[in-house]
Amino acid sequence: MHSDTQIFEGGFSDSVLNAQSVFRALMDAMANPGRIVAVDDLAVPPAPLTPLAASIAATLFDHDATVWCDRAISGSAACTGWLKFHTGLELTGEPADADFALISDVATMPSLESFCRGTSEYPDRSTTLILQIDGFDGADTLVLEGPGIKGSVGFSPSQLPKMFIDQWIANRAAFPRGVDLIFAGKGALAALPRTTRIKKTEA
Amino acid sequence: MTDLATYNFAYLDEQTKRMIRRAILKAIAIPGYQVPFASREMPMPYGWGTGGVQVTAAVLGPDDTLKVIDQGADDTTNAVSIRAFFQKVANVRVTTKTAEATIIQTRHRIPEAQLQAGQILVYQVPIPEPLRFLEPRETETRKMHALEEYGLMHVKLYEDIARHGHIATTYAYPVKVEGRYVMDPSPTPKFDNPKMHMSPALQLFGAGREKRIYAVPPHTEVVSLDFEDHPFEIQTFSQPCALCGAKGSYLDEVILDDKGGSMFVCSDTDFCEDRQAKGHRGALAADTAEAAE
């Protein structure tokens, strides 16, 4: 059970400037794939939502955003209550209908191709996935190339979806259609837009 | 600034900013693709940079330093009014120095000084669709982009060659971004096209009337369309800047009298003033001219 306090409290203390600072971190991350961008904890949501994922939600979601949440989040009345109260988002049970996806457990998430890739005419009408992870000191390092990256850059998220390399190659092959990923760690975020190529993995 | 009732920070309401911010993230993820957005009425007419203003307003924060240029100049009407607008509605620091700015909103020029990583260049775009004058129907141009069908653009450039002997397009010269989308760089002179290629700065484009946002992330390939036997060339000038003596910059012609007299000066006023402050002088600079008399 949850108390109403959990739902109504914990939003941005300064809705205008907090959203602006989180957006700039997101834009910086999206424009520089693999870059780890530090963000202060600005929101206090109920678990399993993390402060950073909740900040991203409060920055990007509103009544025009259709959002799919994984079972741990959608099953928590406190989480869905918090998201609805603070953003006014529209929830969907169908990943392919979602503008955004909020994923707390990366290991059990649906495949990338079950989300919306947009159409050839409107590749922007696709899902942006927000993945909650522990951090960016994982054992495996992906070497990334593509727009926004000078040469190549190493990227070591602590968790990745299953068979991620194969899934990402398929996502990249559908360009300009495809999904974009935002990794929300603890106090820092990073992004993989659909343009990024994974050159190789280093253990 | 007083604490009296005022506009929301940076003028736009928060729902509008969220909508624009979502469009900007998609635009960065699909370089060169024009993302439709719900452009708002702004307190200035279309054609005055309402697209660029909306993009700047959605991006701008209190820690930013803003520079606004119009055809390269900081002191022309459009630049002065937009700069004053953001001073009023966001109380943000402004500058005319390219190196000090974190966000540069521009109408039709890219600064001469090399932009740095972390800087954001916001373009005001009148017609975002490079194929629009070749195919007026949005449904068709959208299909052409989807199918990567850009033959018509090459025919247009070829017809230039057939008629004039060279590619006569001098501004809004089409580019291909990351080998996929053909993009209008806004009506910048083709002189500026090479600066877009692999720029360390993030480039955002806003078209208010046409309701489109597009972007080029840093370190992204931007190639001007051309032919093997008619390679892309930028404009060259036969004389240096009359004020600062610069040879490699883009020049404006300034009429001096009604007898056909004119001078050529840098269109980038900050670049020109910076050079003059460092002691560079052109043929018509005030002190050089005095010395000659």
Q: In this structure, is residue B117 part of a structural domain?
A: yes
Q: In this structure, is residue B50 part of a structural domain?
A: yes
| List of chain B residues whose C-beta atoms are within 8 Å of the C-beta of residue A150 | 200, 218-219
| List of chain A residues whose C-beta atoms are within 8 Å of the C-beta of residue B62 | 17
The token pair at A132 is 């909650």
Three-state DSSP state, A74: helix
Which of B15, B28, B143 to probe by mutation at the A interface, max A CB count within 10 Å?
B28
Alpha carbon B128 to chain centroid distance? Answer: 12
Q: Are residues B101 and B194 in the same domain?
A: yes
Question: pTM score, two decimals?
Answer: 0.95
| List of chain A residues whose C-beta atoms are within 8 Å of the C-beta of residue B19 | 64
Q: Note whether A120 contacts B: Cβ–Cβ < 8 A.
A: yes
pLDDT more than 70, % of chain B: 96
Alpha carbon A40 to chain centroid distance? Answer: 17
In this predicted structure, what is the pLDDT of residue A4?
Answer: 77
Mean pLDDT over each residue of chain B, to the nearest integer? 94
Nearest alpha carbon to residue B46 among B208, B186, B184: B208
Q: Are residues B220 and B255 in the same domain?
A: no
Q: Are residues B183 and B269 in the same domain?
A: no
Q: In this structure, is residue B244 part of a structural domain?
A: no
ipTM associated with this complex: 0.96
In this predicted structure, what is the pLDDT of residue A135?
Answer: 96
| Max CA distance (Å), chain B | 64
**pLDDT < 50 positions in chain A:** 1
* CB contact (8 A) between residue B27 and residue A15: no
What is the span of the domain harbouring residue B276? 251-292
In this predicted structure, what is the pLDDT of residue B128?
Answer: 97
Per DSSP, the residues of A81-122 read HHHHHHH--EEES-GGG-SEEEES-GGGPPPGGGS----SS-
User: How much is the CA Rg of chain B, to the nearest whole Å?
Assistant: 20
In this predicted structure, what is the pLDDT of residue B7?
Answer: 82
Q: Are residues B151 and B34 in the same domain?
A: yes
Distance CA B62, CA B84 (A): 15
In this predicted structure, what is the pLDDT of residue A142?
Answer: 95
Q: Note whether B21 contacts A: Cβ–Cβ < 8 A.
A: yes
- Based on the structure, what is the number of domains in chain B? 2
CATH code, domain with A78:
3.40.50.11310
pLDDT, one tens digit per residue, over A15-56 is 999 999 999 999 999 999 999 999 999 999 999 999 999 999
Q: Are residues B76 and B120 in the same domain?
A: yes
- Separation of first and last alpha carbons in chain B: 49
Three-state DSSP state, B36: strand
To the nearest whole Å, the CA of B172 is away from the closest chain A CA by 22
Q: In this structure, is residue B265 part of a structural domain?
A: yes
Q: Note whether A173 contacts B: Cβ–Cβ < 8 A.
A: no
A120-146 exposure pattern, b = at least 16 Cβ within 10 A, e = fewer: eebbbebbbbbbbbeebeeeeebbbbb
Q: Note whether A30 contacts B: Cβ–Cβ < 8 A.
A: yes
Q: Are residues B138 and B269 in the same domain?
A: no
Nearest CB to B180; choose among A20, A148, A176: A176
Question: Which of B205, B224, B243 represents a domain boundary (last residue)?
Answer: B224
Q: In this structure, is residue B239 part of a structural domain?
A: no
In this predicted structure, what is the pLDDT of residue B17?
Answer: 97
CATH code, domain with B18:
3.40.50.11310
To the nearest whole Å, the CA of A180 is away from the closest chain B CA by 7
Distance CA B208, CA B38 (A): 9
Q: Note whether B183 contacts A: Cβ–Cβ < 8 A.
A: no
Active-site residue list of B: 32, 241, 244, 266, 272
Q: In this structure, is residue B4 part of a structural domain?
A: no
Per DSSP, the residues of B113-128 read SPP-TT-EEEEE-S--
Note whether B103 and B60 are within 8 A (CB).
Answer: yes
**Preceding amide of A48 cis, omega within 30:** yes
Nearest CB to B61; choose among A20, A119, A123: A20
To the nearest whole Å, the CA of A147 is away from the closest chain B CA by 5
Inter-chain Cβ pairs, chain A and chain B, closer than 8 A:
110
Q: Are residues B168 and B48 in the same domain?
A: yes
What is the span of the domain harbouring residue A93? 4-202
Q: Are residues B68 and B210 in the same domain?
A: yes
Note whether B267 and B282 are within 8 A (CB).
Answer: no
- Based on the structure, what is the number of domains in chain A? 1
Q: Are residues B51 and B112 in the same domain?
A: yes
Half-sphere exposure of B260 (CA within 13 A, CB side): 0
* CB contact (8 A) between residue A120 and residue B147: yes
Distance CA B146, CA B144 (A): 5
In this predicted structure, what is the pLDDT of residue A6?
Answer: 86
**pLDDT < 50 positions in chain B:** none
Q: In this structure, is residue B243 part of a structural domain?
A: no
